[in-house]
Each structure stands twice: as structure tokens, then as C-alpha cells.
Structure 1
Amino acid sequence: MFTNKRLNLLIIISIFILGVFYFFIDAEKDQKTQNPLQEQPHYKDGDSINVESVGAIGDGKADDTKAIQSAVDSLKNKRGTVLFESGKTYRITDSIKATSDITFISTEKDNAKIFMDNNESKVPAFDLKGNIRYTTTIKSDQLKTGNNSIALSKVNGVKSGDLLLIESDTPWYFDPRIGKENLHKGELHRVIGLNKNSVLIENPLWDTYIKDSEIITVKIIDPITINMKNITVERNKSNNRTVGIKLEYTSDSVFHNLTVKNSVSTGIHIVSSFRTSIENSLIIGANDQYSGYGIQSYGSSFSMIRDNTVFGSRRGIDISGLYPDYYSIVEFNTVFGGGKNENGFNYLSEDTQYGIGSHSTANYTIFRNNILGNLNYGINIRSANVTIEGNSFIGYIKGASILLAYGKNAIIKNNKTISGKAVPKIADKYSLPDNVEDFKANSFIYIKDTYSFDKGTVKITNNQANNISTEFILLIVQDNPVNFLLSNLIIEKNYVKYDVNGSKDIKYFINSTESINTEELTIDQNIIRFNNKNGIYKKYNNIK
């Protein structure tokens, strides 16, 4: 039997062991859930300022522009915080500008609103921009793929943490739009040090530059870091190309729990920035008929866009640039269509609406685990080396779930369509045209003849396509009606269920808009089903 002393000692030891166990469990939990803006940061005295302490009213009527800008300017180069009173509305009539590290945050969990009472085009409510140290020109033979070192004639003043932007005069490989936008080669890197007359960069050079045939411009940029949390940015509804938040030349910026409304051109615009994170935010009404981007990463590197929701915008989330955006990730977002463009035309029936994708130059982008519904096209691709994985297409898709227009090398796997009106209530905020019915996309994938099969591979595998009304894949032939090089198209282990309306209804696995010649395709282990026993199935149409 235990004595009282031995029993007490055993109890103490047991409590100590349990305490150590729960300490490590809590530590691991904290590590997993840690977020750069999870809690309001603690700053030294003088490093934070409440906008109301410098004259802001926050009643939604008074013009608080000068007071807020004064608060921002007072923290220049101090890495400080501008505080807005939670739940209040601050009216501004011009951009709030920041050119050094700063945090914008509400005092409590409820958002503070910044109402931009100015509809001037391309003037953002928040204009957040780093500084160019200098610009120089180098020879293309100084850039070698895979190198982490770039020789420059001048390295004085270059610091670790600076950004290095390379731009070539050579057009981008796919759809360069020469004479209009002049899309071109280039890439954005971060400096990690110096070695004599060379700059060391964090990641190796990604592209290939041809000796003596390209003019290379290099910008050395002193970036800023912007943090923003629990802020709403709202603009008047207008027909002008208004912008909500624009950040340019930034590094390691984090935007968390924002709401951006009625920024017709772009809700959040990420330009030439490195490792930006946009999380848990809501974007409504980026509905310009030509642009209209909810969130756009533009010529940036390693953007992380996740857990956001976009409604009523022409393009929900876009990855592109005048020069390529590299290695961005778009995941766990929800994008729903419906609503009207800025001219009052209904999306889906009178104007085209896209979920996510790459509008122009981009490389090595990942689109995964997003929910996309009530759109003309779910994912639109005009870029190279893209992965489309685990996305769900629900509600009504007028054209195709996925459109490959330009680029090379695509992996399309584990995506699925969900038939019926299984649209979450959150999507009901935007009305849909009367003719929108259950999910019955014409095709799961459209592929245009402008897509470069001869330069790479398209692998379509383990997708689940339900209620497809015409074909699994449609080849859109416009410029090259004779030969369509499909030898690098691999289609394996997909489940396809067609929506059949009658015994004479013909369904195709691969259909082409024009008669084409091609090599033998790699098609294996796909499962084909009809929603009833009627209908006619053909593997190919217009393909020899």
C-alpha cells in the first residue's frame, strides 16, 4: 500500500507531467494558428497614433483626409500604426498615401470604414508605394537562368531586402499584345546581399535571356511593408475606373479581414510586390466592363491570395502583369457571379464574367481548392506552367468551367462540378438573370488553338464533370483549322456524366469547332455516364 507521503508525491509528479504535456500542446496549437496580424501588435511609445487624436471626426460627413494623412506622415520611417475607431466611418476626398512601413488597423474587431467620396478614375483610396533607388541598363549575357548573382555597374546603396526588378524589351511568349500593352519578359526578385559588384538574390533567375539580342532594364527598389486589418474601404457607385487599395513596390505585406466595395476597376491591386498576403477579405462590385478585378496580383512574385470572397465583379481574382507575375497561389477563395456591370448590363446574359485566372503574363501559378459559381467561365488561363487543382464549380456556368486560351504546360486535376442550385446563401446578395437555371455547362474545358501544345503538355486527370450538356472538351479552332497538335494532351481517369435530353441527343468526349488533323491522343481509364439510358455518345467529332 502507498503511504500518504508516497501518494502525495505521485500526485505531484502526475500533475507536473500533465502540465508539461498541455504546455507543449498549447504551444503547437499557437504555432499552427499564428498569423502576422492575429493580435493587435504592441509598439513602443510614440509608434502608434489614433486618427482622432489629430482631428479626424469619423462621422461619415466631415472630411477626414488631412487628419488621416497627418497621422500617416507623423509615423514616416517609424514602422508605426495608424488606429481607426472600430465601427466608425471616416470620409476622405483624396488618396491616403504611405511611402514607408506602416500598419492600418481598427481599435477593435469590428471594421472601421474609410469612405472615399471621390470618383476620379485610377485614384485609389489607399495609395501605398515604395521607392525606386535607381534604374540601370545591363547586357542580357549578365543574366543566366538559375543564377543567384547579377553583376551591376553600381551597387552602392543597395541593401539586403531591396527588390530587383528585371524588364526586357523582348515580347512575352504568349499573346504579347504588341502595339497595345506591349507585354514583355521580366521578373521580380528580392536582394539578400552583395558580393563585390554583384547583387545576390533570394531565388535563382527563372527566365532565359538571349545574348546580345535583348535590352535589359534593372530597377533597384526600396520596398515598404504594409499591414492592414479590420478595415472597410467603400466608394460611391460610379462609371469611372476607381480603385480601392493599391500597393506597389512592397515586401511581406499582409492584408487581413478587409471589405472593399464599389471599386469599379480594381478592389485590391498588388503591383510589383514581393510575398504579399491577402486573406479573409470580401470584395464586392469591381464591375468595370473592360477590367473589373476583385483582387489582382500584377507583375509580382509569391503573392498568396486565400480565403477571400468576391461577388459581382467582372473578374474575381486575376494574376497577370506587363511582365510576368511569378509563383502566386490562389486558394480557398469563393467567387460568385451575377449582378450588373457599371453600365447596367446583366452579367452572364449581356456581359461576360470570369471567376479566377490569368488575364495576361504569369508563370508557375497555382489555383487550388476554390469555389466558383454562376459565371460564364470559372477559370480562364493565358499563362504558362499553371496548376488547376481541387476547385469546385457550382450553380450555373454558361460556357466552360475551365478555358485555356494562351500559354503552355497545364495540370488540371481533381476538380469537380456540382450540379443543381447548390449555391450558398451568401451568393444570393447578387441577383441572377431570369434564364439562369441549374448547372449545365456546355463543356468542362474549352481549349483554343492559340494554346501552345507544341511547347508543353496539358494533363487532365481525376476530374469529376457532372451535368455536361455537350462535350467534356471543346477545341475552339479559329486561326489554324488544319493541324491541331494534341500529342501532348493527356486525358486520364476522369469521370464524365452528361445531361441527356432525348434519344437523339449526341454527346462528345472531345469536340472541335472545325475539322482538324492531329496525332494519336493519350486517353485512358475515363468513366462515361449519362443521366438516363437515352442519348448517343461519340468519342470524337471533327477530329481525324
Structure 2
Amino acid sequence: MKSIYKWTVGAMVVCGFQFATMDHTFALTDKAVTPEQYGANGSDNLPDTAALQRALNVSKNVVLKGGATYYINKPLTVDHTIKITTTGGKANIVKTTMRNKEVAFTFHNETTFNTVMWDSAKKGQEYIIVYSTKGVKAGDLVHLKSSKLWKWDNRGYLSKGELLRVSKVEKNKIYFETPLRDSYYVTGEKVTVTGYEDKQLIMENVSFSYPQPFNANKPLVLVEAATNSKLENVEVRNSKTLGILLDRTYKTTVNRMYANLGTTKDINSGYGIQDYGGLYTRVTNSYFTNVRRGIDFSGVTPSRSGYAANNTAVGPVRYTLASGNSGYGTHSTAEDILFEDNTSVNFNYGYISRGDRITIRNNTAYGTMTAMVAASYGDHINVYNNFYKNDKGGNAEQFLRVVKTFDGNVSLRHNYAGVLTGDFVQNDSPYLKSLQLYRNRAIFIHKASNPAYLIKSLGSVKLENTLTQDNLMTMRVGKKAFSSGFNLTSNTNKIDWKY
């Protein structure tokens, strides 16, 4: 199967990124090609940019030489479904030109239609009605973005919205594979509807890097609006800002990724990989070091139903990097995210939550940190069966820190912490609604004259629908007490006063 593409001399500018283009007309083939066919060497210090770009342009199946190092002096881009693999072993692509706001590799998916919603749609509905369905077809991705802000926006641009995949089109109705996760009202709310073709990226055994740590203010690798993509054994190095950015992708799986970014304290991002407004992204069996955060789920509209499991993130001791650094987290808009069986070493926090229905389950943390878990914005934070210990030196101050902006509920069940130097839960927020603590265990070395508390609030807060049952504080040093700063008198609470 062949498609005809035409490329012209000059430059193509897409979403603020500039890519070199070529002057030829060619047939896009399924046949495997190598950059060596177009003049690449992979074993000298000369740029292989043109040969790599030509291979990416002409084929859906590009095979790099395992063990080769390809130097590029311009960004690479591809805008069609493609598989990029090697002959065995890892192939290295080194971007020698370190320019601000340039990306080493971009998988670009051009917008195919734009319209707006014609009628209101409720959460759980399987379709929307739009002004025009011209250009829309089954398998396309659709991104909804509302003029209304997300519930927990504090920046003035985090919006209601979501990513969906089209199942069928009937007149002015677009049906989706999954129900709507939010409600939209055409009175007083404008919802833009943007579409993208069904395109896939498969990449295996490829390393991208700069020669030394560099802040380009852009990711090293950018994947836009891809469907069912797979990144296996992909490596990113020396991109201080961001390793891989998944921008509104659907069912992307990332396995055995490695990131060593060289992030420094002046960098406020520093994510190994960031899912930005995607749906069903999975990151597993990966390793992150010298990052401000290993895995981040966020977006201008919410990242949803993401999954991170069996990963390891290793950071410096707390306060070394910009504030809010953590092994894993959701930092802007995120809903229904699961972190499971991951390991976090050092950082300010092991896991940070900003979103709705974020679950942190069966994870481990080591080292010196402020708290294993921090809740900053959102609601329905579930923290179950996690384990903090100081085997690698250092201690945590608290197990949970509730930041001053949080206005929801946190549930802590069957967690273990040893050793803590402060309180099990410290609340800084006047808006905290409720806590559930069930069968948590912690060991304390508390050298202050005041006691270590099971739950402590820095200001007076009245809790409702709160549960504490069968929790245990074991003191190696210091005194313990049940609570401070909380009003627990509501008859909706179930308090056993055990600690």
C-alpha cells in the first residue's frame, strides 16, 4: 500500500517547532529502509540529519543500525504512521546543535477538522452534536476543549475537556468508543472540537540525547495526537527540561524507558516523561534519574486513566531541585490516575497529587524527603498499602502532607512508614474536608519537645465524614498524641482514638 506525499524546499513551522524539509516527490512505502541507504554513516562525527530525515520521509518502516551513533544538527520530524527499530542493540541519535525551543524528534499529527459543539452533552453520553462533521471518520481522535476552566484551575488556562476516539459518525453526531467524562453546556460555554487522523508511532531501542545537559525549554522527543503507540527501550539523556512529551495521545504504552536528564534547581519541569492531556497512557518498567519528576500526568485539559507501574525514580535529597519535586505526580489537570508498585528514592516527595480520583497503591519510597505523599489540589486521593523506609539513609518528616490549597478528601489505608521524624499526617489547608485512616503503622524518632501526632493541622479545621481506626504509632524516641488542630466533633465522624 502506497501513499503520495510532496515535500518542498524551505521550512515547515508546526506548533512553534521548525523542521527541515526536502525537495522531492516520493512514494511512501511499507518496505524497510535504513538511513545508510541515503548516505548515513553512524560511526563518524559527521551529521546524518539529511539521511535520517529522508528515511523517515519515504517509509513506514525505518531500521537503524544497532550500536550506531547518528549525529543530527536539525530536528527530525515524521507525520505518518511509522515503525522505527534497530538491527539489534540500541541506536543513538545525538542532537549536536543545542538551540532554544528545538525538539530532536517530533511525531506530528496535523489537525484534520475543527468545529464546535451545537448542543449540550451530559457526562456518560456516548456522542456529541456538532455544527459540522465534515472530515470526521471512525478511528479519528477528537479533543474537546471548553471555554470553562477546570474545577481546580489556579492558573487561568487549565480547561474542562477531554480526548476521545470516534466510533462512528451519523449526520451531525459524533459517537465515541468511551462515554463522556464531563458535561458540557452550550449556553454560556463554548466547546471547540478538534480532530486528528488515526496515526501510530512504534519506536524500539533508540536513544536521544544532547552532548551535555541542556535546557531547550522544549522536550527532547515530542509525540502528538498518536493512537495505540508503543515506545519500547527508548532512552533520553541531557534534556534538562523534559525527556518525552506525549501530547494528547490515546493508549500509548511506554516500557523499559530510561531517562537521565541532568536537571538542575533552576528547572521547574524536569520530567522524564509527561503525559499531557492523554487517555489510557501506560508507563511501566522504566528508570528515571537526575530528574525533577520521573513520570508526570497533566495537561491543559485533564490527562485521564493513566497508569504507572514497576518504575524507579531516583532523585537527590530534598531541597536540591525546584520546589514540588517528586518521584511521580500529577501537577496540573489529571483524573483517574493509578500509581502502582513504583519506587521513589529521595526527592521532596515520593508522590504528589493534583487532581481527582488519584490512587497511590503498593508503592515504596526511601531516603530523605518531606513526605511520602503530598496532596496539593483536588479530591478523592486514595493512598493504600504503601511502604516508606529509611534503608538508604535519611528519614521522612511526614507520611502525608496536605498542602494549603487542597480542598477534598484523602483516604489512607494499610500504609507503613519507618522512620518518621514529624507527624504521620500534617495538614496545612483550611479547606480539607475529610480524612480516612485505617490500619496504618509508623515508627517515629521524634526529638522535639512537643509530641508527634497521628493527625495534625497547622490551623483549626473541622472535619466531617472522617474515620480513624486501628492505627498504630511506635515511638523509638519522643512522645506521641492523637490529634492537634482538628475539630472532630461532627456526628458524621467515626473516631476510635487509637494511635
Band of TM-score, shorter chain: 0.7 to 0.9
Tell me what 1:385 maps to.
357
| Aligned residues with identical type, % of pairs | 27
Distance in 2 separating the partners of 1:332 and 1:520: 34
Contact 1:286/1:293 (<8 A) preserved = no
Contact 1:418/1:439 (<8 A) preserved = no
Tell me what 2:57 maps to.
73
- Secondary structure in 2 aligned to 1:66? helix
1:209 deviates by: 1.9
For 1:116-195, list aligned pairs within 5 A.
Answer: 116-139=95-118, 141-178=119-156, 182-195=157-170
Distance in 2 separating the partners of 1:414 and 1:384: 19
Tell me what 1:16 maps to.
none
Tell me what 2:483 maps to.
540
Tell me what 1:298 maps to.
276
1:219 deviates by: 0.6
Contact 1:129/1:247 (<8 A) preserved = yes
- Secondary structure in 2 aligned to 1:68? helix
Equivalent position to 2:413, from 461, 469, 474: 461
For the pair shown, the structure with the greater C-alpha radius of gyration is: 1
Distance in 2 separating the partners of 1:542 and 1:287: 38
Distance in 2 separating the partners of 1:523 and 1:46: 61
Q: CA RMSD in A?
A: 1.9
Tell me what 1:358 maps to.
330
Tell me what 1:17 maps to.
none
Distance in 2 separating the partners of 1:197 and 1:238: 48
Tell me what 1:434 maps to.
none
Structure 2 unpaired stretches of 5+: 1-27, 488-499
- Secondary structure in 2 aligned to 1:150? strand
- Secondary structure in 2 aligned to 1:203? coil
Tell me what 2:242 maps to.
266
Matched, 1:396 2:333: no
The letter of the residue matching 2:303 is D
Distance in 2 separating the partners of 1:314 and 1:303: 20
Equivalent position to 2:73, from 64, 85, 93: 93
Tell me what 1:372 maps to.
344
Tell me what 1:322 maps to.
300
1:60 deviates by: 4.5
Distance in 2 separating the partners of 1:362 and 1:46: 37
Write out per-residue CA displacement over residues 171-200 of structure 1, whole angstroms, 9 at most, x where no aligned residue: 11113301xxx1110000001112233111
Distance in 2 separating the partners of 1:384 and 1:172: 11
1:505 deviates by: 5.9
Aligned length: 456
Q: TM-score, normalised by structure 1?
A: 0.80
Q: TM-score, normalised by structure 2?
A: 0.88
Write out per-residue CA displacement over residues 275-316 of structure 1, whole angstroms, 9 at most, x where no aligned residue: 001110100016261111110000111100111100011111
Matched, 1:104 2:75: no
Matched, 1:499 2:451: no
The letter of the residue matching 1:189 is L
The letter of the residue matching 1:58 is G
**Pair 1:242–1:172, CA change in 2 (3 A):** closer
Q: Once structures 1 and 2 are overlaid, which stretch shifts more, 141-150 or 388-397?
A: 141-150
- Secondary structure in 1 aligned to 2:220? strand
- Secondary structure in 1 aligned to 2:350? strand
- Secondary structure in 2 aligned to 1:474? strand
Tell me what 2:254 maps to.
278
Structure 1 unpaired stretches of 5+: 1-43, 339-345, 422-437
Distance in 2 separating the partners of 1:187 and 1:350: 32
Contact 2:361/2:386 (<8 A) preserved = yes
Contact 1:115/1:233 (<8 A) preserved = yes
Contact 1:265/1:286 (<8 A) preserved = no
The letter of the residue matching 1:420 is D
The letter of the residue matching 2:237 is K
Distance in 2 separating the partners of 1:269 and 1:156: 30
Tell me what 1:430 maps to.
none
Distance in 2 separating the partners of 1:231 and 1:493: 45
Q: Whose strand fraction is larger, Structure 1's or Structure 2's?
A: 2
Distance in 2 separating the partners of 1:359 and 1:156: 36
Tell me what 1:417 maps to.
388
Distance in 2 separating the partners of 1:335 and 1:458: 24
The letter of the residue matching 2:361 is E
**Pair 1:60–1:328, CA change in 2 (3 A):** farther
1:526 deviates by: 0.9
Tell me what 1:202 maps to.
177
1:153 deviates by: 2.8
1:536 deviates by: 1.1
Tell me what 1:214 maps to.
189
Write out per-residue CA displacement over residues 448-507 of structure 1, whole angstroms, 9 at most, x where no aligned residue: 242122xxx421111111101110000014xx4xxx453x321111112112448x4621
Distance in 1 separating the partners of 2:50 and 2:320: 44
Distance in 2 separating the partners of 1:129 and 1:331: 27
Distance in 2 separating the partners of 1:113 and 1:463: 42
The letter of the residue matching 2:378 is G
Distance in 2 separating the partners of 1:113 and 1:299: 29
Contact 1:176/1:184 (<8 A) preserved = no
**Pair 1:350–1:318, CA change in 2 (3 A):** closer
Q: Whose helix fraction is larger, Structure 1's or Structure 2's?
A: 1
